[in-house]
Structure 1
Amino acid sequence: MHSIVLLMWLALCSEQDVRERQISNALTLGVATAALVWLFATGHSWIGADASDAGWALAIVMLLTLPGYMLGRFGAADVKLMGALALATSPQYVLGTFIGAGITVVVWLLSRRRLRTLLNPKLKKRLQTIAETLGDKQPFAPYVLAGFLLTSVWIQ
């Protein structure tokens, strides 16, 4: 049940990231705050892991995202998104989500040209218009969503 709520939150973040190329602080910091309150109130993360596991998950996220942020590969919202996810889950979910997101990126990069040839011309034109107006910045949240979904299926 808790994974479904996290999937819905990640879907909202993904939709906003694709549409606007940014994620609002209300979504990222709001969930991070709720996860912290839950941790302090119950002693467990949202999915039931110990509070120390959530702390280790946050440390892993900082180790993996802050260098990318400093190099300009990740946005601040991506770091906050992953931090909130870490506080709500465990190291296994965080590492699985990163691995799943990486696999999803590779699959997308290898198959996107083939998929574009299969698209309806109107949809193709609409996607091209969106891409032109928003620039080169690639959204990260959809890959996180896919990675979390793969991890949830794998773990449960």
Structure 2
Amino acid sequence: MMALLFLVLLFCSLKDIGSRRLPAPLIWLLLSISLVWPVAGALIDGQLWHWQQLLWVLLWFLLLLPGFLFKVFGAADIKIILILALISPFDFLLHALLLAFAGIAFWWLLRDRKRREYPFIPFLTLGFGVSLWMHGALF
């Protein structure tokens, strides 16, 4: 199941790099894959899923809302982060976002200082994978 989630995240990353827009069916596919974990009663790291996880999703929404309103994040970025918040503990997603922002900063420093906008989902996918690996929950 984790491999399928990563495959869809990688496809989302490629679409974000190529067209800077994600089609809605792709986001629905990611949501349907991620809903298997709460239905099964577990999170990504194997802990029990509890209704309080929805409070973490609400917290992430409130934390990311200013970024959406000030056009730092796109709608697809927010949707994917909230989908990942539904199935992962708070610290997993926090590490993933910090690693994604660090990846964007390094990319800006090393490669491309002229651009102002970058596709965020590839960096989020990389950060999420590294975060899962750091916590020992990858495959």
More helix by share: 1
**Letter of the 2:94 counterpart:** L
- Deviation above 3 Å: which 4+ runs of structure 1? none
2:15 maps to 16
1:97 maps to 96
CA deviations over 1:39-97 (Å, ceiling 9, x no partner): 1x322234433323632441342133211111111111111111111122221221111
TM-score, normalized by length of structure 1?
Answer: 0.73
2:53 maps to 54
Alignment RMSD: 2.4
1:29 maps to 28
**Where do residues 63-142 of structure 1 align in structure 2 (5 Å cutoff)?**
63-113=62-112, 137-142=117-122
- Distance change >3 Å, CA 81–CA 45, structure 1 → 2: same
- Identity percentage over the alignment? 28
TM-score, normalized by length of structure 2?
Answer: 0.81
**Letter of the 1:50 counterpart:** L
**Letter of the 2:120 counterpart:** F
**Letter of the 2:42 counterpart:** H
Structure 1: 5+ residue stretches without partners: 115-130
- Distance change >3 Å, CA 38–CA 17, structure 1 → 2: same
1 CA distance for matches of 2:10 and 2:33?
18
Query: Is the CA contact (8 Å cut-off) linking 1:32 and 1:83 kept in structure 2?
Result: no
1 CA distance for matches of 2:10 and 2:135?
20
